[in-house]
Structure 1
Amino acid sequence: MVFSVVVKFIHPAAASLVVTAISGISFLSMSNAGYMEIKGKHIKYSKMWSQADEEQSKIPSKRGMFIAYTPAFLAGFASLFLLRHGDFRFTLLRFCVATHFFKRLLEVVFIHKYSGWMDTQAAITISLSYCLSAATLIYAQYLTLGLPEPEFDLKYVGVLLFLVGICGNFYHHYLLSKLRSEGEKQYKIPRGGLFNKVICPHYLFEIVGFLGISCISQTLYSYSLASGTSFYLVGRSYATRKWYESKFHEDFPKDVKALVPYIF
């Protein structure tokens, strides 16, 4: 019964063992990464990563994040010109993939303020992961061309969710960038927007954006990527709130949740 309902929302794509395998691996790896965040094992690029005892090769965080996002953007951007044929859904997906990573690059260059370092291996690993995700999203959609559409068409709902997600994410990244003036390195408790309700509203809107992409695509891979990303950001937001509590103690407002206002 449940399966018969679920298939109404999924594109009946051509069989591909590669895409199916990547879908499962993506979901499991992202979910595990979220669990590791909760356990205190953080990816080596954030404020929660203790860099004092690390001997690995490190690069400035700004350069590391630029490396992380560039290949995925190029994959999405190139697909708009190299894969000219296709339906409206295929065009929408490629445009959203390219836009998502272009926005991230713009934020790296013009919005975010970086004060730390990033493990070089982590930068390369993240870069390969993002690039594989972008390419697989596009390839999985390519396999649907010429096949029947899903019984329930969610692409316009997806466009709305994507726009809400990318705008909300950008706005809260902008608020974060204004916390510290030029030259300041100390961390502060974020204020304004949904920061008054949750410590990671930028993660909440990123989840909304990925849900939008999955609704535009409606492939097994897009759903698995959105689900895995959501699980990871749930763990990440939990760890972030815990970090702020430990750093600011009594000054951290207890009614501010991790990700979802009033709930979590």
Structure 2
Amino acid sequence: MVMTPSIFLNFLFPPPPSSFVTTMSVIGISSLTCAGYLESKGMHMRYSKFVNEGVTKIKSEIKFSSRTGMLLFYTPAFLGGLSSFHVFPNHDLRFMLLASALTVHFLKRVLEVLFLHKYSGSIGLESAIVVILSYTLSTVTMIYAQYLSRDFPNPQVDLKYVGVGLFLIGITGNFYHHYLLANLRKEGDKEYKIPKGGLFDLVICPHYLFEIIGYVGVACISQTAYAFAFTLGTVFYLMGRSHATREWYLTKFGDSFPKDVKAFIPYVF
């Protein structure tokens, strides 16, 4: 059965008359999908365990410590979400929920960087710029698309409360598995270990899985075409990244890595 545009409009606001939002939708899903494919083929963004994997080392490249780089990743998006409450007037409930979810998402990230994560390695300037732009532009565009939809009638199927539930599940599960990862290493220990506990016994990247659940929640709160396009692109990217992560663990730990542990989706992928 083919879903017609009228069926989609039962679940989505009409696309706003904005060439910026339309362009960002195309750029977002295509660039994230491409990045996910490149990750799966060994061409990685240079941060975390992949800082020197699959790329030619550039001696003159500017690098940041992992902590500084991660703060640079998330702080502009957090400030963008926070400032939206003042930049865009006449908020309705859906706008408030969306802006709050995005702000809380990146506030959590900033707090984890400051107080939870343990670090090794560095982050290249080129990768930092790409990630900063991705997070910041997607956050601002999602909020702006929501603002432009304020005068449209609500979709016939209201998903915003379902979205709130999914967002809370996603952010909680993501934090829990970040907590498990942080506790793998003692202070000053920079060696990688095979994660255990939680869903790590089934997939190597449950934190990515819960991040996707959180973003699906955000898309359901928003119910704009841009939010769903960005979420779909994020799914493709994190699938590629998780596949690359599993391959990295297999290479590093060999027979010690449990072969029945999948990359992203328990028992499936």
Task: Tell whether the structures are fold-level matches, with TM greater than 0.5.
Answer: yes
Hey, what does 1:94 align to over in structure 2? Answer: 99
Secondary structure at 1:8 match in 2 = coil
Q: CA deviation at 1:247?
A: 0.4
Deviates more, 1:5-14 or 1:106-115: 5-14
Measure, in 1, the Cα distance between the counterparts of 2:39 and 2:20: 28
Hey, what does 1:121 align to over in structure 2? Answer: 126
Measure, in 2, the Cα distance between the counterparts of 1:81 and 1:177: 35
Hey, what does 1:148 align to over in structure 2? Answer: 153
Measure, in 1, the Cα distance between the counterparts of 2:168 and 2:243: 25
Measure, in 1, the Cα distance between the counterparts of 2:117 and 2:41: 27
**2:40 aligns with one of 35, 38, 41:** 38
Hey, what does 1:203 align to over in structure 2? Answer: 208
Secondary structure at 2:194 match in 1 = coil
Q: CA deviation at 1:13?
A: 4.0
Measure, in 2, the Cα distance between the counterparts of 1:201 and 1:74: 27
1:190-242 CA distance string (max 9 Å, x none): 00000011000000000000000000000010000100000000000000000
Hey, what does 1:54 align to over in structure 2? Answer: 58
Measure, in 2, the Cα distance between the counterparts of 1:112 and 1:137: 28
- 2:36/2:238 contact within 8 Å kept: yes
Hey, what does 1:11 align to over in structure 2? Answer: 13
Give identity over the alignment, percent.
Answer: 54
Q: CA deviation at 1:80?
A: 1.8
What pairs with 1:157-168 in structure 2 (closer than 5 Å)?
157-168=162-173
Total equivalences in the alignment: 264
Deviates more, 1:118-127 or 1:185-194: 118-127
- 1:197/1:256 contact within 8 Å kept: yes
Hey, what does 1:2 align to over in structure 2? Answer: 3
Hey, what does 1:218 align to over in structure 2? Answer: 223
- 1:79/1:94 contact within 8 Å kept: yes
Structure 1 unaligned segments of length 5 or more: list them. none
Secondary structure at 2:123 match in 1 = strand
Measure, in 1, the Cα distance between the counterparts of 2:15 and 2:28: 18
The two structures have a TM-score, normalised by structure 2, of 0.95
1:63-96 CA distance string (max 9 Å, x none): 0110111110000001123324121001100001
**2:251 aligns with one of 246, 251, 256:** 246
Measure, in 1, the Cα distance between the counterparts of 2:228 and 2:142: 10
Q: CA deviation at 1:120?
A: 1.6
- 1:172/1:202 contact within 8 Å kept: yes
Amino acid at match of 1:120: L
- 2:51/2:123 contact within 8 Å kept: no
Amino acid at match of 1:31: T
1:109-141 CA distance string (max 9 Å, x none): 011111111102221221122111110010000
Deviates more, 1:236-245 or 1:54-63: 54-63
Measure, in 2, the Cα distance between the counterparts of 1:194 and 1:164: 14
Q: CA deviation at 1:251?
A: 0.3
The two structures have a TM-score, normalised by structure 1, of 0.97
Measure, in 1, the Cα distance between the counterparts of 2:126 and 2:133: 11
